[in-house]
Structure 1
Protein backbone atom coordinates (compact mmCIF):
# COMPACT_ATOMS: atom_id res chain seq x y z
CA UNK A 1 0.00 0.00 0.00
CA UNK A 2 1.38 3.14 -1.29
CA UNK A 3 0.76 6.22 -3.33
CA UNK A 4 1.93 5.47 -6.85
CA UNK A 5 2.99 7.86 -9.57
CA UNK A 6 0.17 8.57 -11.99
CA UNK A 7 1.15 7.71 -15.56
CA UNK A 8 0.83 10.66 -17.93
CA UNK A 9 -0.34 10.82 -21.54
CA UNK A 10 2.51 9.80 -23.83
CA UNK A 11 3.22 6.60 -21.90
CA UNK A 12 2.20 3.58 -24.01
CA UNK A 13 0.65 1.79 -21.02
CA UNK A 14 -2.32 4.14 -21.35
CA UNK A 15 -3.15 2.98 -24.87
CA UNK A 16 -2.83 -0.75 -24.27
CA UNK A 17 -5.66 -3.11 -23.34
CA UNK A 18 -5.69 -4.41 -19.79
CA UNK A 19 -5.93 -8.07 -18.80
CA UNK A 20 -8.87 -9.60 -16.94
CA UNK A 21 -8.50 -10.34 -13.25
CA UNK A 22 -8.90 -14.10 -12.85
CA UNK A 23 -8.68 -14.36 -9.07
CA UNK A 24 -8.72 -12.12 -6.03
CA UNK A 25 -5.31 -12.61 -4.46
CA UNK A 26 -2.86 -10.52 -2.41
CA UNK A 27 -1.51 -8.86 -5.56
CA UNK A 28 -4.99 -7.69 -6.62
CA UNK A 29 -5.88 -6.54 -3.10
CA UNK A 30 -2.62 -4.57 -2.94
CA UNK A 31 -3.43 -3.00 -6.33
CA UNK A 32 -6.86 -1.94 -5.05
CA UNK A 33 -5.29 -0.39 -1.94
CA UNK A 34 -2.71 1.42 -4.09
CA UNK A 35 -5.53 2.79 -6.27
CA UNK A 36 -7.24 4.08 -3.11
CA UNK A 37 -4.06 5.56 -1.65
CA UNK A 38 -3.19 7.24 -4.94
CA UNK A 39 -6.68 8.58 -5.71
CA UNK A 40 -7.10 10.00 -2.21
CA UNK A 41 -3.74 11.79 -2.51
CA UNK A 42 -4.98 13.89 -5.46
CA UNK A 43 -8.06 15.80 -6.55
CA UNK A 44 -9.93 13.38 -8.78
CA UNK A 45 -12.95 11.08 -8.78
CA UNK A 46 -11.63 8.00 -10.57
CA UNK A 47 -8.50 6.02 -11.22
CA UNK A 48 -7.92 2.94 -13.36
CA UNK A 49 -5.07 0.47 -12.88
CA UNK A 50 -3.27 1.47 -16.13
CA UNK A 51 -2.99 4.99 -14.72
CA UNK A 52 -0.61 3.61 -12.10
CA UNK A 53 1.17 1.41 -14.65
CA UNK A 54 -0.71 -1.87 -14.12
CA UNK A 55 -2.51 -3.48 -17.07
CA UNK A 56 -5.29 -5.15 -15.09
CA UNK A 57 -9.02 -4.50 -15.44
CA UNK A 58 -9.57 -2.71 -12.14
CA UNK A 59 -10.82 0.77 -11.35
CA UNK A 60 -11.91 2.86 -8.39
CA UNK A 61 -14.43 5.70 -8.47
CA UNK A 62 -15.23 7.91 -5.51
CA UNK A 63 -17.38 10.94 -6.23
CA UNK A 64 -16.52 12.19 -2.73
CA UNK A 65 -20.13 13.11 -2.16
CA UNK A 66 -20.80 10.75 0.72
CA UNK A 67 -21.77 7.83 -1.52
CA UNK A 68 -19.88 4.56 -1.36
CA UNK A 69 -16.75 4.31 -3.53
CA UNK A 70 -17.06 1.88 -6.44
CA UNK A 71 -14.36 -0.71 -7.03
CA UNK A 72 -15.02 -2.72 -10.16
CA UNK A 73 -12.94 -5.52 -11.64
CA UNK A 74 -13.46 -6.74 -15.21
CA UNK A 75 -16.17 -4.14 -15.84
CA UNK A 76 -18.49 -4.39 -18.78
CA UNK A 77 -21.08 -1.79 -19.70
CA UNK A 78 -24.16 -3.79 -20.62
CA UNK A 79 -26.61 -0.97 -21.28
CA UNK A 80 -26.34 2.71 -22.24
CA UNK A 81 -29.33 5.02 -21.91
CA UNK A 82 -29.68 8.57 -23.15
CA UNK A 83 -27.03 11.09 -23.99
CA UNK A 84 -25.12 13.63 -21.94
CA UNK A 85 -22.53 16.12 -23.16
CA UNK A 86 -20.17 17.50 -20.57
CA UNK A 87 -16.70 18.46 -19.46
CA UNK A 88 -14.28 15.71 -18.57
CA UNK A 89 -10.75 15.71 -17.24
CA UNK A 90 -8.17 13.06 -16.45
CA UNK A 91 -5.44 12.68 -13.86
CA UNK A 92 -3.20 11.38 -16.65
CA UNK A 93 -3.64 14.62 -18.62
CA UNK A 94 -3.49 17.38 -16.01
CA UNK A 95 -4.39 20.93 -16.89
CA UNK A 96 -6.83 20.03 -19.66
CA UNK A 97 -10.47 19.15 -20.09
CA UNK A 98 -12.58 18.17 -23.03
CA UNK A 99 -16.23 18.10 -24.01
CA UNK A 100 -17.28 14.47 -24.31
CA UNK A 101 -20.61 12.85 -25.14
CA UNK A 102 -21.40 9.93 -22.86
CA UNK A 103 -24.56 8.02 -21.94
CA UNK A 104 -26.76 9.70 -19.33
CA UNK A 105 -27.24 6.37 -17.58
CA UNK A 106 -25.38 3.04 -17.69
CA UNK A 107 -25.72 -0.44 -16.35
CA UNK A 108 -22.39 -2.16 -15.76
CA UNK A 109 -21.40 -5.58 -14.49
CA UNK A 110 -18.18 -6.85 -12.98
CA UNK A 111 -16.71 -8.12 -9.74
CA UNK A 112 -16.21 -6.35 -6.46
CA UNK A 113 -13.06 -6.72 -4.35
CA UNK A 114 -14.55 -9.81 -2.67
CA UNK A 115 -14.86 -11.59 -6.02
CA UNK A 116 -18.64 -11.30 -6.08
CA UNK A 117 -20.39 -10.57 -9.37
CA UNK A 118 -22.24 -7.28 -9.14
CA UNK A 119 -24.37 -5.03 -11.31
CA UNK A 120 -24.26 -1.26 -11.01
CA UNK A 121 -26.84 1.18 -12.31
CA UNK A 122 -25.55 4.73 -12.49
CA UNK A 123 -26.45 8.07 -13.96
CA UNK A 124 -24.94 11.52 -14.20
CA UNK A 125 -21.35 11.89 -13.03
CA UNK A 126 -21.09 8.28 -11.87
CA UNK A 127 -22.20 7.02 -15.30
CA UNK A 128 -19.66 9.33 -16.96
CA UNK A 129 -16.91 8.12 -14.63
CA UNK A 130 -17.73 4.44 -15.24
CA UNK A 131 -17.47 5.04 -19.00
CA UNK A 132 -14.23 7.02 -18.62
CA UNK A 133 -12.53 4.42 -16.40
CA UNK A 134 -13.79 1.47 -18.49
CA UNK A 135 -12.30 3.17 -21.55
CA UNK A 136 -8.93 3.37 -19.73
CA UNK A 137 -8.99 -0.40 -19.35
CA UNK A 138 -9.42 -0.73 -23.12
CA UNK A 139 -6.61 1.70 -23.94
CA UNK A 140 -9.00 4.49 -24.93
CA UNK A 141 -8.41 8.04 -23.72
CA UNK A 142 -11.13 10.65 -23.34
CA UNK A 143 -9.25 12.95 -25.71
CA UNK A 144 -9.99 10.40 -28.46
CA UNK A 145 -13.72 11.01 -27.92
CA UNK A 146 -13.63 14.71 -27.14
CA UNK A 147 -15.48 17.18 -29.33
CA UNK A 148 -13.22 19.96 -28.11
CA UNK A 149 -10.19 20.09 -25.81
CA UNK A 150 -9.15 23.14 -23.81
CA UNK A 151 -6.67 24.18 -21.15
CA UNK A 152 -8.22 24.68 -17.73
CA UNK A 153 -6.87 28.24 -17.80
CA UNK A 154 -9.36 28.98 -20.59
Structure 2
Protein backbone atom coordinates (compact mmCIF):
# COMPACT_ATOMS: atom_id res chain seq x y z
CA UNK A 1 0.00 0.00 0.00
CA UNK A 2 1.26 3.47 -0.80
CA UNK A 3 1.32 6.48 1.45
CA UNK A 4 -2.15 8.02 1.62
CA UNK A 5 -3.01 11.65 0.89
CA UNK A 6 -3.63 13.83 3.94
CA UNK A 7 -6.95 15.70 4.09
CA UNK A 8 -6.52 19.37 4.95
CA UNK A 9 -8.60 21.98 6.73
CA UNK A 10 -11.83 22.61 4.88
CA UNK A 11 -12.47 18.93 4.12
CA UNK A 12 -15.72 17.99 5.92
CA UNK A 13 -14.36 14.56 6.97
CA UNK A 14 -12.12 16.36 9.48
CA UNK A 15 -15.18 17.81 11.24
CA UNK A 16 -17.11 14.54 11.35
CA UNK A 17 -17.17 12.33 14.46
CA UNK A 18 -15.69 8.96 13.49
CA UNK A 19 -17.67 5.75 13.92
CA UNK A 20 -16.52 2.96 16.24
CA UNK A 21 -14.97 -0.07 14.58
CA UNK A 22 -17.38 -2.93 15.21
CA UNK A 23 -15.87 -5.62 12.99
CA UNK A 24 -12.31 -6.37 11.93
CA UNK A 25 -12.57 -6.90 8.18
CA UNK A 26 -10.43 -6.22 5.12
CA UNK A 27 -11.44 -2.55 5.15
CA UNK A 28 -10.11 -2.12 8.71
CA UNK A 29 -6.93 -4.07 7.92
CA UNK A 30 -6.35 -1.85 4.88
CA UNK A 31 -7.01 1.23 7.03
CA UNK A 32 -4.38 0.16 9.59
CA UNK A 33 -1.88 -0.54 6.81
CA UNK A 34 -2.53 2.92 5.37
CA UNK A 35 -2.23 4.61 8.76
CA UNK A 36 1.09 2.91 9.50
CA UNK A 37 2.56 3.54 6.05
CA UNK A 38 1.48 7.19 6.05
CA UNK A 39 2.67 8.05 9.58
CA UNK A 40 6.05 6.33 9.11
CA UNK A 41 7.84 9.39 7.72
CA UNK A 42 10.11 11.95 9.32
CA UNK A 43 8.28 14.80 11.02
CA UNK A 44 5.05 12.85 11.56
CA UNK A 45 4.02 12.06 15.12
CA UNK A 46 0.43 10.90 14.68
CA UNK A 47 -2.32 10.36 12.14
CA UNK A 48 -6.05 9.83 12.64
CA UNK A 49 -8.15 7.79 10.20
CA UNK A 50 -10.25 10.76 9.11
CA UNK A 51 -7.06 12.57 8.07
CA UNK A 52 -6.80 10.00 5.27
CA UNK A 53 -10.52 10.16 4.54
CA UNK A 54 -11.80 7.21 6.60
CA UNK A 55 -14.43 7.95 9.24
CA UNK A 56 -13.49 5.17 11.67
CA UNK A 57 -12.02 5.45 15.19
CA UNK A 58 -8.35 4.59 14.71
CA UNK A 59 -5.04 6.38 14.78
CA UNK A 60 -1.36 5.65 14.36
CA UNK A 61 1.77 7.16 15.89
CA UNK A 62 5.45 7.58 15.16
CA UNK A 63 7.30 8.79 18.26
CA UNK A 64 10.89 8.13 19.24
CA UNK A 65 11.22 5.38 16.64
CA UNK A 66 8.06 3.61 17.79
CA UNK A 67 5.37 3.20 15.14
CA UNK A 68 2.02 1.77 16.20
CA UNK A 69 -1.75 2.03 16.05
CA UNK A 70 -4.84 1.79 18.20
CA UNK A 71 -8.46 1.02 17.31
CA UNK A 72 -11.39 2.56 19.18
CA UNK A 73 -9.19 4.55 21.57
CA UNK A 74 -10.77 5.98 24.69
CA UNK A 75 -8.98 8.37 26.99
CA UNK A 76 -9.36 6.75 30.40
CA UNK A 77 -7.09 9.03 32.37
CA UNK A 78 -5.58 12.47 32.04
CA UNK A 79 -3.98 14.82 34.49
CA UNK A 80 -5.71 18.00 35.49
CA UNK A 81 -2.42 19.87 35.35
CA UNK A 82 -1.49 21.23 31.94
CA UNK A 83 1.88 21.05 30.32
CA UNK A 84 3.48 24.36 29.57
CA UNK A 85 2.21 25.84 26.37
CA UNK A 86 4.02 24.14 23.55
CA UNK A 87 3.62 24.80 19.87
CA UNK A 88 1.42 22.22 18.24
CA UNK A 89 1.05 21.49 14.57
CA UNK A 90 -1.06 19.21 12.43
CA UNK A 91 -0.65 17.48 9.07
CA UNK A 92 -4.16 18.72 8.20
CA UNK A 93 -3.15 22.32 8.98
CA UNK A 94 0.19 22.29 7.13
CA UNK A 95 2.95 24.69 8.08
CA UNK A 96 1.16 26.40 10.96
CA UNK A 97 2.22 25.91 14.60
CA UNK A 98 0.57 27.53 17.63
CA UNK A 99 0.77 27.23 21.42
CA UNK A 100 -1.88 24.81 22.64
CA UNK A 101 -2.49 23.65 26.22
CA UNK A 102 -2.80 19.91 26.76
CA UNK A 103 -2.84 17.70 29.85
CA UNK A 104 0.66 16.83 31.03
CA UNK A 105 -0.28 13.11 31.24
CA UNK A 106 -2.84 11.00 29.35
CA UNK A 107 -3.71 7.35 28.99
CA UNK A 108 -5.81 5.76 26.24
CA UNK A 109 -7.08 2.21 25.91
CA UNK A 110 -8.23 0.47 22.74
CA UNK A 111 -7.52 -2.70 20.77
CA UNK A 112 -5.40 -4.01 17.91
CA UNK A 113 -6.53 -6.00 14.87
CA UNK A 114 -6.58 -9.21 16.91
CA UNK A 115 -8.78 -7.72 19.63
CA UNK A 116 -5.92 -7.54 22.14
CA UNK A 117 -5.91 -4.55 24.46
CA UNK A 118 -3.63 -1.66 23.50
CA UNK A 119 -2.67 0.87 26.17
CA UNK A 120 -0.77 4.02 25.31
CA UNK A 121 0.15 6.54 27.93
CA UNK A 122 2.70 9.11 28.77
CA UNK A 123 3.67 12.66 29.44
CA UNK A 124 4.59 15.57 27.20
CA UNK A 125 4.61 14.46 23.54
CA UNK A 126 2.69 11.23 24.30
CA UNK A 127 0.00 13.13 26.21
CA UNK A 128 -0.19 15.70 23.41
CA UNK A 129 -0.43 12.96 20.77
CA UNK A 130 -3.20 11.05 22.55
CA UNK A 131 -5.36 14.15 23.03
CA UNK A 132 -4.64 15.55 19.56
CA UNK A 133 -5.56 12.32 17.76
CA UNK A 134 -8.66 11.58 19.85
CA UNK A 135 -9.77 15.15 19.12
CA UNK A 136 -9.49 14.32 15.40
CA UNK A 137 -11.68 11.26 15.89
CA UNK A 138 -14.21 13.51 17.62
CA UNK A 139 -14.24 15.91 14.65
CA UNK A 140 -12.05 18.57 16.27
CA UNK A 141 -8.83 20.26 15.21
CA UNK A 142 -6.21 21.61 17.56
CA UNK A 143 -7.16 25.09 16.31
CA UNK A 144 -10.39 24.68 18.30
CA UNK A 145 -8.37 24.48 21.52
CA UNK A 146 -6.31 27.64 21.04
CA UNK A 147 -6.67 30.67 23.28
CA UNK A 148 -9.05 33.19 21.71
CA UNK A 149 -6.38 35.71 20.60
CA UNK A 150 -4.13 32.97 19.23
CA UNK A 151 -7.06 31.32 17.44
CA UNK A 152 -7.97 34.62 15.78
CA UNK A 153 -4.40 35.00 14.48
CA UNK A 154 -4.28 31.33 13.45
CA UNK A 155 -7.50 31.57 11.44
CA UNK A 156 -6.22 34.68 9.65
CA UNK A 157 -2.91 32.95 8.82
CA UNK A 158 -4.78 29.81 7.73
CA UNK A 159 -7.00 31.82 5.34
CA UNK A 160 -3.92 33.55 3.94
CA UNK A 161 -2.12 30.22 3.43
CA UNK A 162 -5.13 28.74 1.63
CA UNK A 163 -5.48 31.78 -0.63
CA UNK A 164 -1.77 31.85 -1.54
TM-score scaled by length of structure 2: 0.84
Distance 1:58 1:146 in 2: 24
Specify the SS of the correspondent of 2:101: strand
Structure label with greater radius of gyration: 2
Cross-structure match for 2:82: 83
Note the alpha carbon deviations across 1:13-55, whole angstroms, 9 max, x for none: 1000000011222211111111122222463111000000000
Moved more, 107-116 or 28-37: 107-116
Q: Which runs of 4+ in 1 moved over 6 A?
A: none
Higher-RCO chain (CA-CA 8 Å, sequence separation at least 6): 1
Which one has a larger percent helix, Structure 1 or Structure 2?
A: 2
Distance 2:44 2:28 in 1: 22
Cross-structure match for 1:29: 29
Give matches, 1:101-112, under 5 Å: 101-112=101-112
| Number of residue-to-residue matches in the alignment | 149
Instruction: Please say if 1:95 is aligned against 2:95.
Output: yes
Runs (5+) with no aligned partner, structure 1: none
Give the 3 Å change call, closer, same or farther, for CA 99–76 of structure 1 in structure 2.
same
CA contact (8 A) 2:36 2:69 kept: no
Distance 1:10 1:121 in 2: 31
Distance 1:4 1:117 in 2: 26
- CA RMSD, aligned part only? 1.6
Give the 3 Å change call, closer, same or farther, for CA 19–139 of structure 1 in structure 2.
same
CA contact (8 A) 1:8 1:93 kept: yes
